[in-house]
Structure 1
Amino acid sequence: MWDPGWDDVFRTKNWGSYPPEELVRFIGRTYFDAPERNAVKVLELGCGAGANLMFLAQEGFDATGLDGSRVALDRAAERLAARGLAARLDRGDAMALPYPEGAFDCVLDIECIYANTYADSRRIVAEARRVLKPGGLFFSKTFMTGTSGEATGRRLEGERNTYLEIPDGPFNKGYGVVRLTAEDEIEDLYSGFEGLSVDYVIRSDRNGSREVREWVISGRKP
């Protein structure tokens, strides 16, 4: 569920301008050989200030970004315009996407669903599946259990591996919901997709004082 506090977060954070390596690899392997890249419609959930949209637009894809934060979308628009790039920017809630069924070839979740309860995360994944064309792909990069900062916040009652106001780790320090996905949750969380590819990335951060663990998951809509 969209939390209006993210507007304040985006007012104070100047997050990066470059996409994660895993996204670049996925897009490259899957779509770089498309005969007409501008015919490949890609939606990013929780697009923030537009780092991934800039990459997609630069590579010639038909990119759409959705976020609940007007501040983030305004910043994304400024960044795109400064580079002479174009992408559609929509304000909305990922649990109720404002698009018709079968509108996109690909939907991206780059650390979007982690900021939601498990039930809400499942709703978001179901919405992503709804707006995908048959055969379309969902790509998700989400924090996994064991990431530094786990259990340092206030545990959200009735939820598993879900915390509020985590003071440390690679999250938005001290703000909002943080849900870490366990391996035994993947099949259920991403149900409805075929041929799930499940990889993970583990890296150190801050001179080895932190460990960041992320699932890298993709699947195809039947």
Structure 2
Amino acid sequence: MTTYDQRPRTLADQAEQQKDQVRSVYRRVAEEYDERIPGLGPCDELFTTTEHRFLLEKIQPGERVLDIGCGTGRFTVPMAELGAQVSGLDLSEAMLEMAAGKLRERDLTADLREGDMAHMPFPDGSFDTVTSMLALMHLPLEDRPAVFAEVHRVLRPGGRMLLGVKNALFEEMFTGDRFASVDVTDVAAKQLQFTRTRSGEDYLAPWYSFSPQDLTALFAGAGMTVTRMRGNSPLAAWLADEVLRDASVRSFVDRIERFLGEIPPFNHLGYHLLVEAVKPAV
């Protein structure tokens, strides 16, 4: 198990140490990342389908999109395929290299940058949409307000953010992990465990989930308004894969979740949260 120095530091030092930890882990797993996420079970399939519907159905050709924490391009690439003008930002050079390879294979282009979400290398008002899926949980807690402020800054007036994060409220009910079981959330330790890696080592990265209240407050603090909050897998996360392997059951669960996922309080009880927030037009 890879470990890191945990001696007391200033908050700024702690945040930088956590970012270094994230860089180190993703440098090691970049080449195998796409094999690890998503998982291969029917729960994973429902989860991923909901993610794609929520994000990709909103992206229009010619739209200027910034994908923060873009990783290997899990959403950067399909957004480019839809004709959007996509930029991708990530801490990990190794993950960006994987994304660049996918783009080349498909004869697509995107502006990929290595950088920190808390200090984005883009001018004010550069984008119509900012996206982030399964990445903000690696943020040091101290950086959260700065990142949401940066999102507001780089969006044009009337622009929006679309994001997906693990739900801290769900974790109060269930601390297990149903998604990509080789990468397991340790809720108590606030860490993501990368197990069964090609190297044979396990790796740890900081991982902080968000409650619905966290997200509403962070967006409000940045001058943005949450306009949609959807729960991803409010029902499927409680069902065994053996049950969901029945195609008729999976189809029924999918229909129910499309309905329940948008309705309070069920939208706050999803395994993950999918959120749309808007910057004022003036």
Using the size of structure 1 for normalisation, the TM-score is 0.79
1:190 partner SS = helix
Identity %: 23
Deviation, 1:8, is 1.5
| Matching residue of 1:111 | 134
Decide which structure has the larger Cα Rg and report it: 2
Deviation, 1:65, is 0.6
Contact 2:185 2:192 in 1 (8 A): no
State the alpha-carbon separation in 1 of the partners of residues 55 and 241 from structure 2: 30
Which structure has more helix as a fraction of its residues?
2
- Coordinate RMSD, CA, aligned: 3.0
Q: Report 1 or 2 for greater relative contact order, CA contacts < 8 Å, sequence distance ≥ 6.
A: 2
State the alpha-carbon separation in 2 of the partners of residues 188 and 102 from structure 1: 22
State the alpha-carbon separation in 1 of the partners of residues 75 and 185 from structure 2: 29
Deviation, 1:140, is 1.0
Counterpart selection for 2:273 from 206, 215, 218? 215
Contact 1:144 1:181 in 2 (8 A): yes
| Matching residue of 1:178 | 207
Contact 2:226 2:275 in 1 (8 A): no
| Matching residue of 1:71 | 94
State the alpha-carbon separation in 2 of the partners of residues 164 and 45 from structure 1: 20
Q: Paired residues, what number?
A: 204
Segments of structure 1 that go 5 or more residues without pairing to the other structure are 156-162
Write the deviation string for residues 3-52 of structure 1: whole angstroms up to 9, x where unpaired. Answer: 321212314433469994345434555344xxxx22x1000001111121
Q: Cα–Cα, structure 1 residues 200 and 84, in superposed 2: closer, same or farther, change >3 Å?
A: same
Q: Cα–Cα, structure 1 residues 20 and 124, in superposed 2: closer, same or farther, change >3 Å?
A: farther
* 1:4-153 correspondence runs (5 A): 4-5=23-24, 6-15=26-35, 20-27=48-55, 29-32=57-60, 37-38=61-62, 40-145=63-168, 146=171, 148-149=176-177, 152=186
Residue identity opposite 1:197 in structure 2: R
Segments of structure 2 that go 5 or more residues without pairing to the other structure are 1-14, 39-44, 178-183, 196-201, 243-269
State the alpha-carbon separation in 2 of the partners of residues 69 and 99 from structure 1: 18
